[in-house]
Chains A and B, each alone.
Chain A
Amino acid sequence: QSVLTQPPSVSGAPGQRVTISCTGSSSNIGAGYDVHWYQQLPGTAPKLLIYGNSNRPSGVPDRFSGSKSGTSASLAITGLQAEDEADYYCQSYDSSLSAPYVVFGGGTKLTVL
């Protein structure tokens, strides 16, 4: 059971727009901590896609965007391409225990139809 909740799967046709949600609580996302997103292609290490809720690292297409509101965050992908088929993970920071810790979502598998 992950601290951050993501839908197990989403799908969309090429050219469409899809969103992936990441729901947390008042001790992580709702406490104001940033959300970060990763893309993991099959057989490879995760790659940073969005950091600090909505910032794209150099080289990440502007088709990818992130947002955060309250206790949730979202990753949006526009102009869906076959190469976007991958697993996507959100990550944040939690301060509910005596020591802070890093939390991940369970991951969302994106299928391009």
Chain B
Amino acid sequence: QLQLQESGPGLVKPSETLSLTCTVSGGSISSSSYYWGWIRQPPGKGLEWIGSIYYSGSTYYNPSLKSRVTISVDTSKNQFSLKLSSVTAADTAVYYCARQPTVRGVMNWFDPWGQGTLVTVSS
């Protein structure tokens, strides 16, 4: 079955750029039926959508993060990636990637999810 796995540094310094990759296995990232999303969860807090990307490269971002976020896709590697610039301690969170079905252009539910990776912003 489809599996997603996040990877990247677990510690990032303030003001630097957080970079994570999600590797998709058991299915193709190039399917026209899905978006691929990033969601984060600060310790002890709720879920926050960061953004989603279509295999063609079309992206949608959380308005509150848009100025700092870039999501890209590499269909040859079956991966998509997240870059979050100018990070602060407030960006410390577990970062998840997930698949997101789309119908008539609407981004729907997230399933399945990766296991998540904790990124700590600290000097």
Contacts and interface: CB of A to CB of B under 8 A. Distances in A.
A64 interface: no
Interface centre among A2, A45, A105 (most CB of B within 10 A): A45
Contacts of B37: 102
A34 B47 contact: no
Contacts of A100: 60, 106-107
B60 A104 contact: no
Interface in B46-76: 46-49, 52, 60-63
Given A106-B46, A107-B47, A48 B63 contact: no
Contacts of B47: 38, 46, 89, 91, 104, 107
Chain A, interface size category, equals 20 to 34
Interface string B96-109: 10000000001111
A112 interface: no
B106 A33 contact: yes
B49 A101 contact: yes
B49 A104 contact: yes
Interface string A25-56: 00000000110101000000111100110000
Interface of B: 37, 39, 46-49, 52, 60-63, 96, 106-116
B108 A36 contact: yes
A45 B114 contact: yes
Contacts of A105: 46
Interface in A69-112: 89, 91, 93, 97, 99-107
A97 B66 CA distance: 13
Contact of B52 (A45, A48, A102, A107): A102
A89 B109 contact: no
